[in-house]
Amino acid sequence: MNTVEIKNLVKTYGDTVAVDDLSFALKQGEILGLIGPNGAGKSSTIKILLDFMRPDSGEVRILGQKMGEALKDRIGYLPEERGLYKRLTVIELILYLASLKGMGRNEAEERADRLLQRTGMYEYRDKKNKEMSKGMGQLIQFIVTVVHDPDLIILDEPFSGLDPVRTAAVQAIISDLRDRGKSVILCTHQMDKVEEICNRVLMMHQGRTLLYGDVLETRKQFRRNTVRVAAGGEIGDLPGVLERRPQNGAVELVLAPGSSPQAILDRLREDGIEIQHFEIVTPQLRDIFLELVGGEK
Amino acid sequence: MNKLTLLLKHEFVQAIKKPAYIITTLFIPVAMLFSVGVIKLVEILNDANAKEALVIGYVDQAGFASQPMEEGLTRFVPYNSPQQAKAALVTDEISEYLIIPEDFLETGIVARFTLEKELFTPLATTQAIKSFLDLNLIQDRIPPETITRIISPFQIEVTRLDKDGEISDNQANLGNILITGVYAFLLTMTFQTASGALISGLGEEKESRLIEVLYSSVSVRQLMVGKILALGVAGLLQVVIWLVSAVLYLRFDAASAGILSQVQISGSFVALAVVYYLLGYLLFAAMSVTLGGITSSASEAHNFSMIYNLTCYVPIWLISVYINFPNSPAWVALSIFPITAPIQTLIRLGVGDVPAWQLGASLGAMALSVVGAIWFAEKVFRIFMLMTGKRLGLKGVIQGLREA
């Protein structure tokens, strides 16, 4: 059973089409990276998923059901802009919001303490939220999002403002959730994170799907017959190479149609060049994103 | 505990822990305690002054004040000349002296000389001088019992009869006006405190996007009802604290206690007071939720809320006009207009009767407006609470409602 299934979703605001015939599915134990430029329709999609607003047409099913009040306890949501009840302590806030998700106090407290320890926030457990820095507040909100052990977690920019140590802690928790069969939608501009932890990627632009599929497969699809070579000596002219791009002590060779990476490798060996590194270049999501969005524009 | 109860408990606890709530709740009892202290202090000082004998000298140049007078601690002593009177004053034989000039009967002017620096002649002294002059002006000309009636003319004792000519159970009295006026004022303050708290709370959650986290956990209706009920209970608690402190205050204040002894509060008045509180509170709460939804910030919502917050004060501003002209149709209109209805109707009920049809029209108009306002507030809450920092304008609101 898919955790999320969206079919032909459309949402308009006046003359503006925010979401245009969007369809995708998210399986159990998967992390879907939802990426796209500002105004791509990501927020509208999330708001429709959460039943904050209704679509003009299309079908949304979460955990096999139409979204409704009964499903809210099984979903965790971290909005992009975050705030806390400043007068409450960290633990009071977590327990209150966990109780609204139908969680018992003892269980919530036990899980909250574990998550606070894991994120290095335990020492602030009984401090007021108004004393927290922006990054700490973000961690608290992240804990609030997952404390009730939801089946579907929707995270909007969970890493922004976090230092590398806390980023790693949050990333590890997200990966654990996936490994335990939870489904995650990760909405972010940090595409390196999508490459690191997401199974699938959905790229949106102007409300439409630009790209949807397995992260590794997608990157492979966008390979441009380019190899990256780091060599001990000078690489001379090679047949079948259209362009050379120096890059951090290496060189990227753009191959002509019909020329293969194996032929280039053989030629370098024949020339007696010491090869330190040889790689068929797989583009990063960032490059694919720029290529596709640039092309659209 | 279900989600609504959790929300209600959380919102109530947060509301009563807010410094603004604590300060406003305690301000009135503390102010009353302070005024009791001031009243007692003034009484003590007055008593101390009153125990000192007041000896007033006088020089009668008009030739009619042949009768020296001694009443209580005030004594009038005649002198033959202003010089003699002045000498007596500077040697502390007398407290002050008067010169009654020859043309007093034409002008009514009396010259008063004292060693004290006073803006006005003290009331007790004025009364003593008046009694002295009245007595001397009319003595030997009028029978003694008539003199008493001239000096202290009459008191009106009003008795209200019902249509059958029997003495009515519901007599108008100052105590009733006092109690209903105080209740109406406290009610107004509570509406405004709760409305302000709702706007601030919603503004904080809207601006910080906490509202989205709450939306992802509970329904729009649960969230709105939880907030409104919690602040309503907090407001009711505030009214109870204020009323209890007002009753305690009136027990300490002897003058008010006299008025209070006349108070006749019927069971139906109490029931109507509660109903009007609930309807009025729900109307103000729904309007505040609507404003919180369609404005871009809490401060903007607070500015707009002044429109209904000030309007509901109109019956209190006009209370003296109402007492003098209680039968004007304007009061009927204010009793039916939902924003002014709770205060105006309670004031009218405190002073006299309100015809049943007017009471029905007032309650009906309020109930209808409450239902409409809550329906609209829920719609607005759902559509606009997720829009932060956007100035919608009337066109934007209409478009949003159409697209919902």
* Domain CATH for B134: 3.40.190.10
Among A97-106, A221-230, B68-77, B220-229, the range scoring the smallest mean pLDDT is B68-77
B302 plus B375 within the same structural domain: yes
Q: How far is CA B115 from CA A204, B79, B98, B184, in A?
A: 94, 18, 13, 48
B271 plus B225 within the same structural domain: yes
Is the pLDDT confidence value at A296 over 60?
Answer: no
pLDDT given at position B273:
86
pLDDT given at position B54:
83
Buried-exposed string B328-342: b where 16+ CB fall within 10 A, e elsewhere: eeebbebbbbbbbbb
Binning pLDDT at 50, 70 and 90, where does residue B388 land? Answer: low
User: Hey, what's the torsion of the CAs at B219, B225, B230, B233, to 10 degrees?
Assistant: -160
Q: For residue B215, give the nearest of A52, A83, A84 by CB distance.
A: A52
Partners of A6 in the β-ladder: A24, A60
**Is B49 domain-assigned?**
no
Binning pLDDT at 50, 70 and 90, where does residue A291 land? Answer: confident
Is the pLDDT confidence value at B389 over 60?
Answer: no
Q: What is the DSSP string of B320-338?
A: HHHHH-TT-HHHHHHHHST
pLDDT given at position A272:
85
Within 8 A of A85 by CB-CB distance, chain B residues are 14, 210
| Tokens standing for residue A186 | 């990760």
Q: Which of A78, A92, A99 to mutate to test the interface with B (most CBs of B within 10 A)?
A: A99
Backbone angles phi, psi at A11, to 5 degrees: -140, 130
| Tokens standing for residue B287 | 């309007």
**Is B232 domain-assigned?**
yes
Query: When comparing pLDDT for A72 and B35, which is higher?
Result: A72
pLDDT given at position A142:
94
How many CB atoms are located within 10 Å of the residue A227 CB? Answer: 22
Q: What is the pLDDT of residues A129-154, one digit of tens each?
A: 889 888 899 999 999 999 999 999 99
Query: Where are the domains positioned within chain A?
Result: 2-82+147-220, 224-281
Among A134-138, B107-111, B156-160, B231-235, the range scoring the smallest mean pLDDT is B156-160
B135 plus B185 within the same structural domain: no
Chain B nearest-CA residue for A84:
B210
How many CB atoms are located within 10 Å of the residue B318 CB? Answer: 18
Query: When comparing pLDDT for B275 and A247, which is higher?
Result: B275
B365 plus B308 within the same structural domain: yes
Task: Kindly report the average pLDDT of chain B as a whole number.
Answer: 82
**Is B308 domain-assigned?**
yes
Alpha-carbon gap, residue B130 to A128, rounded angstroms: 70
Alpha-carbon gap, residue B377 to A54, rounded angstroms: 18
Kindly state the average pLDDT of the residues B106-131: 88
**Is B11 domain-assigned?**
no
Alpha-carbon gap, residue A109 to A92, rounded angstroms: 10
How many CB atoms are located within 10 Å of the residue A32 CB? Answer: 25
pLDDT given at position B71:
67
Alpha-carbon gap, residue B319 to B314, rounded angstroms: 9
> Quick one: CATH architecture of A224-281?
2-Layer Sandwich (3.30)
pLDDT given at position B259:
60
Kindly state the average pLDDT of the residues B262-266: 66
Q: Which of A49, A52, A82, A146 to mutate to test the interface with B (most CBs of B within 10 A)?
A: A52
Chain B nearest-CA residue for A155:
B213
pLDDT given at position B264:
64
B17: buried, middle or exposed (CB in 10 Å: 19+, 13-18, 0-12)? Answer: exposed
pLDDT given at position A83:
78
How many independent structural domains does chain B possess?
2
Sheet holding A241-247, edge to edge: A241-247, A250-255, A226-231, A275-280
Is the pLDDT confidence value at B275 over 70?
Answer: yes
Share of chain B above pLDDT 90, in %: 20
pLDDT given at position A295:
61
- Please give the angle made by the CA atoms of A278, A279 and A284, to the nearest 5 degrees: 150
With residue B197 as reference, give the H or E element that holds it: helix B174-208
Kindly state the average pLDDT of the residues B363-386: 87
Whether residue B218 and residue A72 make contact (CB cut-off 8 A), yes or no, is yes
Binning pLDDT at 50, 70 and 90, where does residue B261 land? Answer: low
B203 with B289: CB under 8 angstroms? no
Query: When comparing pLDDT for B29 and B261, which is higher?
Result: B29
Kindly state the average pLDDT of the residues B143-150: 75
**Is B216 domain-assigned?**
yes
Which stretches of chain B sit within 8 Å of chain A by CB?
Answer: 1, 3, 6-7, 10, 14, 17, 204-205, 207-210, 212-219, 383, 386, 388, 399, 403
B336 plus B282 within the same structural domain: yes
Whether residue B217 and residue A72 make contact (CB cut-off 8 A), yes or no, is yes
pLDDT given at position A259:
86
Compute the residue count for chain A: 297
Q: What is the CATH number of domain A2-82+147-220?
A: 3.40.50.300
Task: Kindly report the average pLDDT of chain A as a whole number.
Answer: 89
**Is B29 domain-assigned?**
no
Report the candidate in A147, A195, A191 with the shortest Cα–Cα distance to residue A173: A147
Supply the Cα-derived Rg of chain B in whole angstroms: 31
pLDDT given at position B349:
83
Among A258-262, B20-24, B321-325, the range scoring the smallest mean pLDDT is B321-325
Binning pLDDT at 50, 70 and 90, where does residue B113 land? Answer: very high
Kindly state the average pLDDT of the residues A184-211: 90
**Most confident of the ranges A214-218, A229-233, B315-319, B336-340:** B336-340
pLDDT given at position A36:
87
Q: What is the pLDDT of residues A4-62, one digit of tens each?
A: 999 999 998 878 889 999 999 999 999 999 998 888 899 889 989 998 888 999 999 99
B302 plus B389 within the same structural domain: yes
Range of the domain at B102: 54-151
pLDDT given at position A212:
92
B177 plus B74 within the same structural domain: no
- ipTM rounded to 2 decimals: 0.81
